[in-house]
Amino acid sequence: MNEREILIAPCGLDCGICELYTCRNDRQLLENLVSTGIPESSLPCKGCKPLAGKCPLLGDVCATYSCSSNKGHSFCSECSDFPCMKLAPSSDRANILPHNTKVFNLCTIKRDGIDAFIAKARHIKDSYYAGKIVIGEGPVLDKKPL
């Protein structure tokens, strides 16, 4: 497992492009995150897998991480129960958290492989936040469909 691959959480989120991780290179971002109540001692985050699922936002081990780990899977998409309700989309805080991309991310990893996913991860996240839904086409960012 390479350095970048270890930053892909079992649920499909890419810790390597998460603000909690990237604040290591951005003091202003770090200060902004601390101002939201995240303890500075938890930042920058090392990523889900290096922290064995203990996300600074949770203060505890993520149930999805525990489930995947207990079943011996690197990714939830390896499980016979995939997709389960732990990965179900929700509109709650969808404007600030990329959790609704989990199943898409995992399917991309399964279809294209981890390296191809890593190459697309930033575009997927940007499309989630800045893309516009074109009915019949899906999300479009800069006129380039995913």
**Chain mean position to CA 97:** 9
Tens of pLDDT, residue by residue over 10-66, are 999 999 999 999 999 999 999 999 999 999 999 999 999 999 999 888 888 999 999
Pairing between β-strand 138-141 and β-strand 144-145 as defined by DSSP bridges:
antiparallel
Tens of pLDDT, residue by residue over 92-142, are 988 888 889 999 999 999 999 999 999 999 989 988 888 888 899 888 776
User: What is the 8-class DSSP label of residue 70?
Assistant: H
Instruction: Identify the CA nearest to 109 among candidates 2, 3, 11.
Output: 11
Contact between 62 and 48 under an 8 Å Cβ cutoff? The reply is: yes
Contact between 138 and 129 under an 8 Å Cβ cutoff? The reply is: no
